[in-house]
Each structure stands twice: as structure tokens, then as C-alpha cells.
């Protein structure tokens, strides 16, 4: 009976131009009308007329979709399809179409990413900000930390940015500070292959580093992408500019790059994001650098979250006899929008 109702909905929707809504049927047979904004990290976001805020639904709870709008659809076998949704005669299956023409029938569990095509700026933009403060009476110690991210996604490319800062001040010791930031652009050009331009900035007192600006041109592959996780690997070349304390000159060098990103997001309200970058120098014999970061985030209601972050920077041959490594643990509370 449910399949018959869905078929009727899918048939008459084009005949009613005043109705520009998508239709979801959930596993308990509840029906939701609205506008699909995104499926990402196993969570579907839909805008409805009867809620001031967007609804978020675990993907495993969605059994059917009817929509004539066009989407970018990413499957677990790493195939990318541009099309719309119609009903299927099989439970938990959907038919993908393009302008009414059949493309293929897929299991709903094989769909890992849905992005509407030609959506507004706010539909493609995401951001989060979090902060933490630690105050200790001993030595009048104060530590303030901030972490921020943003992302903007289009059909074949996306732009991502991060900013992290830690400042520690206490009596009778030198101030300790650490700032890192990144701006990453990637373009998906063939199936799961992508080209990326990554720009990273780092400054920290532990390694006597005034600044390090790293520009990397890389090519990579989405090795695994499912409703629970994704893993990507990339390689390329890096141009590195850095200046250390007590040095007026800026050091320029070239490096080879190997990188990997792992994200697990279907762990209840938990998510894990790790990144690893390895930079063996091409111009300074024997020098190797490693960047590693890991963020564990726990989501609260109303888009609030708590995040535990760890960052490590290693340099096998730091100038000025500075420390070879620098790491930081950060706990922050924030909001995502």
C-alpha cells in the first residue's frame, strides 16, 4: 500500500507546479514533505514549512525518496550520478532518473552523499566555532583556545578552511602561543580522483617558529566512502617558506608530499577526523616533517558540541637548535551552523 501511495505521489508531483517539495518515507512509515538540503556523514538534512529549524534524520531511517529536483549523488562503489529520485518496487530501494529517463536502481544504503544542484549560497555553506578557557590560581595561569572551520561545496569542487589558536600566559615564565590555519581547495575531476591546492600556516613558540607557509599541489583518490566513514590518500609537491626566531632571512625549500585523511561519523553522536601529512625535503638533505591532527567531536542538541583536539608537528632538522616536535591537546565547546 505504501509503495502504491509513493508511486502516485511520484506520478502527480510534476502535474502540480505549486508543490516544489521532496517527499521522504521513514522506516516507521512516517511521511515528511520539504526540501532536501544535503546527505552527508550519514545524516540527511531537510527544510520543512512546519519547523523553524532544519530537520536532521539518520539516513538508516529513510526508506524512500520522491523528488524531481536534480542532485549530485555519490554511491558506496564510488560512482557519482547526477539525477533525481523516484520510487522502486523493492523495499529500501530507489530509482535514479535524469529528466525522467531511467539511470539505475540502487539500494538506499549504497547512497553516501546527496547534494542539491544549483542551490543558494547558504545551502552549500557550513561553519563552526568553538572556544575553551583554563584558569589556574597557581602562577596566575590562563590558557585560551579557539578552533573554527568553514566549508563551501559545489557540484565538483569544495573549499575548506580551519583556524586554531592556543595562548598560554602565566607569571614568571615566557608566554606560549601556537597558531595554525589552512585553506584547501579540491576539484573532483574523474570518478573518485581529485586535484587539490592546500595552503597551510603555522606559528609556534616551542619550535621558535615565527611563521611557516606551506603551499601544496596534490592529486588524490577517495579510497573508501560509505555511510559510516571515508578515507582519502593524496600525493604531490610542496613549496615551503619559513622564518625562525633570531633569523631575518626567510628560508625557501621544496618538499615531496604524502597525505591521508580519515573520517568516521556514524558512531552515535560522536565523530572522528584525522589527517596525516608527510613532507620529505627535496632541497635539504635528510630533513623530514610530519603534521598530524585528530579531532573527536560529540554533538549536543541545537547544534552545540564539545570537541577534543590533538595536533602534532615534527621537524627532524629544525634550524636554531629548536625543539623537533610541538604538540597540543585542546578541549573546546562550540556551535555549528
What pLDDT band is residue 137 in, cutting at 50, 70 and 90? Answer: low
Question: What CA–CA distance (Å, rounded) separates 229 from 14?
Answer: 36
- Sign of the Cα pseudo-torsion (309, 135, 172, 145, in order): positive
What pLDDT band is residue 197 in, cutting at 50, 70 and 90? Answer: very high
Q: Assess whether 151 and 94 both reside in one domain.
A: no
Q: Assess whether 145 and 185 both reside in one domain.
A: yes
Quote helix, strand, coil % in the chain, to nearest 5. Answer: 10, 70, 25
Average pLDDT over residues 113-131: 77
Task: Spell out the residues 6+ positions from residue 119 whose beta carbon is closer than 8 angstroms to its own.
Answer: 37
Q: Assess whether 225 and 309 both reside in one domain.
A: yes
How far, in whole angstroms, is CA 45 from its chain's centroid?
16
Which residue shows C-alpha cell 598530524?
292
Average pLDDT over residues 126-149: 82
**Where among 118, 143, 170 does a domain terminate?**
118
> What is the predicted pLDDT for the residue at 123?
62
Q: How far is CA 180 from CA 166, 201, 210, 214, 318, in A?
A: 9, 5, 12, 11, 18
Q: Assess whether 58 and 141 both reside in one domain.
A: no
What pLDDT band is residue 119 in, cutting at 50, 70 and 90? Answer: low
The DSSP bridge pattern shows strands 111-116 and 62-75 to be antiparallel
Q: Assess whether 51 and 98 both reside in one domain.
A: yes
**Where among 76, 96, 118 does a domain terminate?**
118
Helix or strand (DSSP H, E) at 111: strand 111-116
Average pLDDT over residues 220-225: 88
Of the spans 175-179, 244-248, 285-289, which averages the highest pLDDT?
A: 285-289
SS3 255: strand
**pLDDT above 70 as % of the chain:** 89
- pLDDT, the chain, mean: 84
Average pLDDT over residues 189-201: 89
Cell of 316: 627532524
Question: What CA–CA distance (Å, rounded) separates 78 from 83?
Answer: 16
In the chain, the number of structural domains is 2
Question: What CA–CA distance (Å, rounded) separates 118 from 130?
Answer: 30
Q: Assess whether 110 and 128 both reside in one domain.
A: no
Lowest pLDDT segment from 89-93, 109-113, 136-140, 146-150: 136-140
pLDDT tens, 258-294?
999 999 987 778 899 999 999 999 999 889 999 999 9
Q: Assess whether 264 and 197 both reside in one domain.
A: yes
> What is the predicted pLDDT for the residue at 19?
38
Q: What angle is formed at CA 184 by the lines to CA 181 and CA 187, rounded to 5 degrees?
A: 175
Q: Assess whether 73 and 195 both reside in one domain.
A: no
> Global pTM?
0.74
Given a cut of 60, is residue 8 above it in pLDDT?
A: no
Average pLDDT over residues 239-258: 90
Q: Assess whether 229 and 112 both reside in one domain.
A: no
Cell of 142: 590562563
Q: Assess whether 312 and 214 both reside in one domain.
A: yes
Question: Torsions phi, psi of 252, nearest 5?
Answer: -110, 135
Q: What is the DSSP letter of 250?
A: P
Given a cut of 80, is residue 252 above it in pLDDT?
A: yes
* Domain of 51, in residue numbers: 2-118
- Residue 151 or residue 136, greater confidence: 151
Could you tell me if 306 and 336 are in contact, meaning their C-beta atoms sit under 8 angstroms apart? no
Q: Assess whether 136 and 250 both reside in one domain.
A: yes
**Where among 118, 141, 161 does a domain terminate?**
118
> What is the predicted pLDDT for the residue at 118?
60
Given a cut of 50, is residue 16 above it in pLDDT?
A: no
Q: Assess whether 189 and 291 both reside in one domain.
A: yes
Question: What CA–CA distance (Å, rounded) separates 183 from 76?
Answer: 27
Amino acid at each position: 500500500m505504501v509503495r502504491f501511495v509513493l508511486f502516485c505521489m511520484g506520478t502527480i508531483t510534476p502535474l502540480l507546479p505549486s508543490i516544489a517539495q521532496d517527499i521522504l518515507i521513514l522506516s516507521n512509515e512516517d511521511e515528511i514533505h520539504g526540501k532536501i538540503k544535503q546527505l552527508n556523514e550519514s545524516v540527511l538534512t531537510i527544510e520543512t514549512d512546519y519547523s523553524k529549524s532544519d530537520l536532521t534524520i539518520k539516513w538508516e531511517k529513510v526508506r524512500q525518496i520522491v523528488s524531481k529536483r536534480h542532485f549530485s549523488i555519490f554511491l558506496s562503489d564510488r560512482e557519482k550520478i547526477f539525477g533525481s529520485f523516484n520510487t522502486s518496487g523493492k523495499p529500501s530501494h530507489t530509482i535514479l532518473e535524469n529528466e525522467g529517463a531511467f539511470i539505475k536502481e540502487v539500494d538506499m544504503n549504497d547512497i553516501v552523499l546527496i547534494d542539491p544542484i544549483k542551490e543558494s549560497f547558504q545551502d552549500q555553506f557550513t561553519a563552526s566555532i568553538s572556544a575553551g578557557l583554563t584558569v589556574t590560581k597557581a602562577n596566575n595561569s590562563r590558557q585560551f583556545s579557539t578552533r573554527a572551520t568553514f566549508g563551501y561545496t559545489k557540484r565538483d569542487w569544495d573549499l575548506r578552511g580551519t583556524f586554531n589558536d592556543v595562548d598560554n600566559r602565566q607569571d614568571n615564565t615566557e608566554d606560549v602561543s601556537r597558531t595554525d590555519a589552512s585553506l584547501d581547495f579540491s576539484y573532483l575531476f574523474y570518478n573518485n580522483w581529485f586535484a587539490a591546492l592546500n595552503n597551510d600556516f603555522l606559528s609556534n613558540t616551542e619550535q621558535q617558529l615565527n611563521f611557516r607557509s606551506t603551499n601544496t599541489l596534490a592529486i588524490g583518490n577517495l579510497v573508501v566512502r560509505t555511510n559510516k566513514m571515508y578515507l582519502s590518500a593524496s600525493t604531490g609537491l610542496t613549496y615551503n617558506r619559513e622564518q625562525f626566531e633570531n633569523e631575518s632571512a626567510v628560508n625557501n625549500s621544496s618538499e615531496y608530499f604524502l597525505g591521508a585523511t580519515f573520517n568516521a561519523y556514524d558512531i552515535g553522536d560522536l565523530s572522528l577526523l584525522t589527517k596525516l601529512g608527510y613532507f620529505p625535503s627535496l632541497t635539504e638533505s635528510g630533513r623530514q616533517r610530519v603534521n598530524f591532527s585528530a579531532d573527536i567531536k560529540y554533538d549536543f542538541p541545537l547544534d552545540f558540541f564539545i570537541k577534543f583536539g590533538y595536533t602534532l608537528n615534527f621537524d627532524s632538522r629544525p634550524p636554531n637548535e629548536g625543539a623537533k616536535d610541538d604538540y597540543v591537546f585542546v578541549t573546546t565547546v562550540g556551535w555549528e551552523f
